[in-house]
Structure 1
C-alpha cells in the first residue's frame, strides 16, 4: 500500500480551498529531514572514537598512576613526592618575600620569610587559638584556624570576607555549623589607603600576601606546619556562611561535610598536598592522550601509504 498525502481543505466563505499544497508539504518534509540528519550527525560526532586497545591503554595508565600513588604520593608527611611539592612551595614563598623586600641572605630560612610576610601583610583576622579570644569562643587552635577563618580560604568568598574584615576590623569564622563574628579583632590594625579605591587595593594585596605567608605554614610551625585549605574543601565553609547570611539554617548534611573537610585538612591534606595529588591526574591525562595520539598517527601514515601505493 502506497503512502498517502493528506491535504487540509478550508471554507473561505465563497468556496473551498486547500490550506496546503503538495509543494509546501514536500518543502516542510525536506526541512524536517535535514534537521533530523543534523541531529544524527551531531550525535555521531560526540561518540568516542575509541576501540578496545584504547580503553586497555587508558586502564593501564590508570594502573600506573595507582602504583605511583602508593609508592610516591602516599599521605602527608610520608610522601616522597609531597616532600618535593612542599619544598617547591617554600621556595615560592621565599621568592615572593624577596619581591616584597625581604633580605635575609642567600640561604635565609623559610620561617624568616614567613615572619617577614606576616608583618608586611598584616591583617586583623589571624586569631590562632593560642591564648587569644578565638581559643575560648570559636574552639580555634593552630591546626584548624586556617580552615575555620573564612578570610584564609583561597576562594572568591574568602577574598570578600578578607576585604570586609579589613574594612570593619572583624574576624569571620565558621564553626559547628555557625557563622561567628569577632568585633574589634585587632586594635592595632589599620588599613592603608587615602580613599576607597586605594583601601580596596591594599585589602586585596594584604589578603594575597597573607595567603602566601600561610601556604607553607606559620613562622612558628614545627615540621611541615598547617598550610591553607584547598578551594575544593573550603567551599563547605562558604555554603554555611551564605546560608547563615540568608537566614537559612544549614542542614545536618552541610555540617557533616564541613566536619569531614576539617578532619581531612587536619590530617595534612592542605593545598600543597592537593597539588601533589593533582600531579597524578596530569600524568594520567598526558599518558592517555599520548597513547591515543600515537595510535592515530601510526594509523594515519599506514592508511596514507596504502592509498598512495
Structure 2
C-alpha cells in the first residue's frame, strides 16, 4: 500500500488520534470486575428479600449522588502530549487489516450505488436500439440521396417532399423580388469585376465558395462583408480570399446587416444551385485524401456533391432522421422517469447548466451511433458519397465528444462527490450522536474547559 501525503494539520490530528487510541487500548478490561460486582449485588438483594426488607431495595433517598469534576485539557496540551510520544502517523495504522478491507468494501459499495443510478436497463437499451434503427430506415428508404434528372434534382420521397414545400414557399417570382430587395457585396458569380482571382468561382459554384452564403458562417462573414463592402471566399484550392468590392454602406447597423444576410439567403435557397449545407464551404480547405478511382481530395468530392444537389434543402431532409432520434429518446426517457416515480422537474429530458442527465446523454449517444453506423454501411455498399447523412454524422460527433468527456472527466468527479456526500451524511449523524453523548455527560459531571 502506498504512503499518503498529509498536510501539517493532518499530521497533528493523526498523532492525537494514535496517542488516544494507544491510551484506550492500554486501559484494562473491567468486564471481570463488572461480573463480580453484579453477582455481589444480586446476592445482597436476595439476602434482603429473605429478611423481608426487599421493599427497601432501590428506595433509600439518603444517599445523594455527587457530581464529579472533569477538566478538559486544551487542544494545545493534547497536541503536545501526542507529539512527545508519537512520530509521524499514517492514519491507516489505526485500523486492523480487516477494518481496512471492510472500509474499502464499503467505498466500493458506494461507487457501485452511483454507477447503478446512471446505468441503463433493458428498457433503456430497447429505446436506444429502436430509435437508432427507425432513424436509419427513414434515412435509407425515405431520404435517399440526390440525383439529377430531366425534371430537376430527385432523391427519396421525404427529400422530394421537402423540395416541393420549398417550391411552394418561395416560387420564382418571389425569388426575383427578394434578389432586388436584398443585394449584397459578396454575390459575385465570376471573377470579371474582382481585383483578386478566386479559383473555381462561377455561376454554378459562387455560393459554394462564398462564406457569406453559408447558412451558419454567413451570419458572421456575410455581415462583415456587408458592413465593409467586401467579398470573402475560399477558392477550390483552399485559399481564403477577402477583398474590397465596393463602398461600405453608410448608417447600416449590424442588425440591419443580419437582416440583409437572411433576406439574401432566402432569395438563394430555392434556386437551381442553392445554398450549400451548413459549414460545407469549409470543406474547400480539406485539400487531402485520395478517394475513388480518380484519387480525388475531400475538397473535390465535396464540391462535386454540391454540384449534384447535396445542398441546404437536402440537408433539411437529412435532419429528419436525426430529429426522430432526439424526439423518441427524449420523450421515452421522460415518460419512463415519471413512471418510476421521479418528479416532472427531474424528468425533463434536457440537460441543464448545473443539472446534467448522464443517462439521457448516453442513450442519445447509443442511438446516434447505431444510425451513423448504418449510414456508414449505406455509403460503403453504394460507394456513393451522396449517401452520407451529413447531419447525422455531426450529431454523432457531438455526442461522442460529450460521452468521452463524461466517461473520462465528469463521471469520476461526480462519483467522488457522491461518495463524499454519503460519507459526510454519516459523519454528521455521528457528530449528532457525539453531541448527545456529551450533553448527557454534562448532566452528571462538572466540566471545566
TM-score of the pair, normalised by structure 1 = 0.62
Partner residue in 2 for 1:127: 188
Deviates more, 1:165-174 or 1:261-270: 261-270
Two-structure CA RMSD over aligned residues (Å) = 4.3
Is 1:172 aligned to residue 213 of structure 2? Answer: no
State how 1:131-280 maps to structure 2 within 5 Å. Answer: 133=194, 137-155=198-216, 157-175=217-235, 176-183=237-244, 185=245, 187=246, 191=249, 193=251, 198-217=252-271, 225-236=272-283, 240=285, 252=288, 256-280=297-321
- Structure 2 CA distance for partners of 1:131 and 1:112, relative to 1, 3 Å: farther
State how 1:54-69 maps to structure 2 within 5 Å. Answer: 55=126, 59=129, 62-69=132-139
Partner residue in 2 for 1:15: 84
Partner residue in 1 for 2:117: 45
- Structure 2 CA distance for partners of 1:58 and 1:159, relative to 1, 3 Å: closer
Per-residue CA deviations over 1:220-248 (Å, capped at 9, x if unaligned) read xxxxx1221222524446xx5xxxxxxxx
User: 1:280 & 1:23 partners in 2: Cα distance?
Assistant: 56
User: 2:113 & 2:160 partners in 1: Cα distance?
Assistant: 50
* Alignment check: 8 A CA contact 2:209 2:234 kept: yes
Q: Which protein has the larger Cα radius of gyration, Structure 1 or Structure 2?
A: 2
* Alignment check: 8 A CA contact 2:214 2:280 kept: no
* Alignment check: 8 A CA contact 1:151 1:159 kept: yes
- Structure 2 CA distance for partners of 1:116 and 1:33, relative to 1, 3 Å: farther
User: 1:208 & 1:232 partners in 2: Cα distance?
Assistant: 16
- Structure 2 CA distance for partners of 1:258 and 1:67, relative to 1, 3 Å: same
Per-residue CA deviations over 1:136-167 (Å, capped at 9, x if unaligned) read 64321222211210111122x43222122122
Question: Unaligned regions of 5+ residues in structure 2, if any?
Answer: 1-13, 20-78, 147-152, 290-295, 341-449
SS in 2 for 1:180: strand
Partner residue in 2 for 1:72: 142
Deviates more, 1:10-19 or 1:111-120: 10-19
User: 1:161 & 1:111 partners in 2: Cα distance?
Assistant: 27
User: 1:199 & 1:293 partners in 2: Cα distance?
Assistant: 44
User: 2:287 & 2:109 partners in 1: Cα distance?
Assistant: 48
- Structure 2 CA distance for partners of 1:214 and 1:18, relative to 1, 3 Å: same
- Structure 2 CA distance for partners of 1:113 and 1:49, relative to 1, 3 Å: same
* Alignment check: 8 A CA contact 2:198 2:241 kept: no
- Structure 2 CA distance for partners of 1:21 and 1:160, relative to 1, 3 Å: closer
Q: 2:175 aligns with which of 111, 114, 120?
A: 114
Deviates more, 1:82-91 or 1:268-277: 82-91
How many angstroms does 1:168 deviate by? 2.1
* Alignment check: 8 A CA contact 2:228 2:248 kept: no
How many angstroms does 1:174 deviate by? 0.4
SS in 2 for 1:126: coil
User: 2:207 & 2:225 partners in 1: Cα distance?
Assistant: 15
Partner residue in 2 for 1:85: 162
User: 2:219 & 2:317 partners in 1: Cα distance?
Assistant: 24
User: 1:87 & 1:138 partners in 2: Cα distance?
Assistant: 33
SS in 2 for 1:231: coil
Question: Unaligned regions of 5+ residues in structure 1, if any?
Answer: 1-6, 95-109, 218-224, 241-249, 301-309
Per-residue CA deviations over 1:101-126 (Å, capped at 9, x if unaligned) read xxxxxxxxx12211211221211010
Per-residue CA deviations over 1:201-225 (Å, capped at 9, x if unaligned) read 22111111111211112xxxxxxx1
User: 1:135 & 1:22 partners in 2: Cα distance?
Assistant: 74
SS in 1 for 2:240: strand
* Alignment size in residue pairs: 246
Deviates more, 1:76-85 or 1:278-287: 278-287
* Alignment check: 8 A CA contact 1:129 1:139 kept: no
- Structure 2 CA distance for partners of 1:291 and 1:124, relative to 1, 3 Å: closer
Partner residue in 2 for 1:4: none
SS in 2 for 1:127: coil
User: 1:22 & 1:131 partners in 2: Cα distance?
Assistant: 81
